Structure 1
């Protein structure tokens, strides 16, 4: 029995939910291993990137071959093997053209590869976020990804007192925020021993707020810590928030309190389809 099977049996026997899979990076290598679903989402987001990469690679191979042939001819001409009729100026011009094309194509290829790496890293982080667990007021468990297409999730992370204050500010605008399908999750980054962060308990909270179940608390905190490290920010005291689009993509994030007033510019979701712009979100 391998270690994965043992871990799954252990989690099922203790009644705890398995932790979401994280993106694995091989040590000593800059290459990142991504799940197939992440790669497919990357292809769908940038469908012509693969064609561009293939084209750049083919053109670089052609330019490199031409450069090698011209270099051989140039050396032969300089050594006198081509005779007095050898056009040195034309050979140098061809050499410069092939070299310039090779450099330009290499630059474009590198930029596209870097853009793909950044895109896949972002999608992998979104996939990790989508796998994190939530608990509704009726004790039903679900994952963040289950809210795609229905809610604009706002994650509030920070000290318990700050999270409680931010939730209270959202409650003051609850009616308008609910009309815009805003759904909030409070995540205390330290133990809430005083019970400052209120838990969703009423039926009305089903479409408004969720909590983080205890088995998934470490995974949530680890995710927030990773995001803060990537951003080069210390949010242990100032707290932070992450706002998602209705399609599950990250719209924006920031330190400190959530700008709830700014979210009132989001389009209202009244359950009726009025056109393809219904799900276009702002930069809040």
Structure 2
């Protein structure tokens, strides 16, 4: 810092012609000038720039350190650049998955006592570990011939109890931590689902999360033939599905055989628009408003398929298997299964969105 003040004194600013006062340089300019002169001095002395970077990072503020890093990167020494690159690569660590505050808050709501349990687990492990150390010291003293007034058998029994307690509470803590990570991972997947986009039949584009509290998404996935069969089986329940806020999202997971172009593949998605869905029989005719409100088209289907593949991998279901996933009003997974959704059961378990019944608006059995 003496060198910095010396350079500050030598770098007085120009005098004002009107007042004769000396313009004082700013703090940032003083810092940069001092570092430049110190850097040149160390280069003349033969000190490698990588050593100067490590030394001055602990002395000077971060602003000077950043300027010094820029000066070191422009130095002609190939050895200095190579040393800096190796150090930067060596500091790399594996990144842990990051979850949003909403996901962590939801995890706390779903398991409110987990933090308390983990605290007591750690406290009991610490107590058992301390007891183990104390008992080990007594056993060692007894084996060396020092009489401490306690039988060796009793000390060994206490030692076994302490070790068993530590092992049990460590196992419970690890199981609770695994459950917490699995829950956070599930909530993270639900959040990623909420970021996926949908196109309603009125051409409005929305995210799945924006429909929470207003619609229960029922995602059906499979080949084009399966999608057509699912929509055909849901026709008798359209009115009751709309009353319960159900929104069917058909997702084609593979192209139909013999598809010649992307237009043909898009039309094979069924499904996704009113024009491509077959005309309902006379006994299942519904009004236009019901027809518009009961299904939506997934946008950016590759992202939808990626999310679905993660779900199927966790459930250990083969890729390409026709599945359905029913969501609650809050966006959580309510039920899932293979094949065609059980429409009669879904309609029976879910209450209407509006009405006078006590169970209206509830998500039913989970």
Distance change >3 Å, CA 279–CA 136, structure 1 → 2: same
Question: Within 2, Cα distance between the matches of 1:262 and 1:86?
Answer: 68
Q: Which residue of 1 aligns with 2:160?
A: 96
Contact 1:131 1:145 (C-alpha < 8 Å) held by counterparts: yes
Aligned with 1:231 (options 315, 328, 345)? 315
Contact 1:180 1:266 (C-alpha < 8 Å) held by counterparts: no
Q: Which residue of 2 aligns with 1:198?
A: 271
Note the alpha carbon deviations across 1:158-205, whole angstroms, 9 max, x for none. 111211220121122111222222210111113462624033445434
Question: Within 2, Cα distance between the matches of 1:129 and 1:275?
Answer: 30
Q: Which residue of 1 aligns with 2:15?
A: none
Q: How does 1:18-33 map to 2 (within 5 A)?
A: 32-33=97-98
Deviation at 1:280, TM superposition (A): 3.9
Deviation at 1:277, TM superposition (A): 7.9
TM-score, with length taken from structure 2: 0.64
Question: Within 1, Cα distance between the matches of 2:176 and 2:356?
Answer: 36
1:252 aligns to 2:335 (yes or no): yes
3-state secondary structure, aligned to 1:247: coil
Note the alpha carbon deviations across 1:18-57, whole angstroms, 9 max, x for none. xxxxxxxxxx969543233222211121111111111111
1:110 aligns to 2:196 (yes or no): no
Q: Which residue of 1 aligns with 2:214?
A: 150
CA RMSD after TM alignment: 2.4
3-state secondary structure, aligned to 1:103: helix
1:138 aligns to 2:222 (yes or no): no
When Rg is computed on C-alpha atoms for both structures, the one with the higher figure is 2
Question: Within 2, Cα distance between the matches of 1:64 and 1:182?
Answer: 55
Q: Which residue of 1 aligns with 2:323?
A: 240
Higher relative contact order (CA 8 A, sep 6+): 1
3-state secondary structure, aligned to 2:271: coil
Distance change >3 Å, CA 267–CA 203, structure 1 → 2: closer
Q: Which residue of 2 aligns with 1:207?
A: 293
3-state secondary structure, aligned to 1:52: helix
Gaps in structure 2 of 5+ consecutive residues: 1-92, 257-263, 275-287
Question: Within 2, Cα distance between the matches of 1:36 and 1:149?
Answer: 20
1:120 aligns to 2:184 (yes or no): yes
* Bigger Cα displacement from structure 2, 38-47 vs 263-272: 263-272
Q: Which residue of 2 aligns with 1:168?
A: 232
Count of equivalent residues: 253
Contact 1:242 1:254 (C-alpha < 8 Å) held by counterparts: yes
Gaps in structure 1 of 5+ consecutive residues: 1-27
Distance change >3 Å, CA 66–CA 58, structure 1 → 2: same
Q: Which residue of 1 aligns with 2:77?
A: none
Question: Within 1, Cα distance between the matches of 2:237 and 2:363?
Answer: 22
Question: Within 1, Cα distance between the matches of 2:353 and 2:314?
Answer: 37
TM-score, with length taken from structure 1: 0.81
3-state secondary structure, aligned to 1:209: coil
Question: Within 1, Cα distance between the matches of 2:144 and 2:364?
Answer: 67
Deviation at 1:96, TM superposition (A): 1.9
Distance change >3 Å, CA 110–CA 142, structure 1 → 2: same
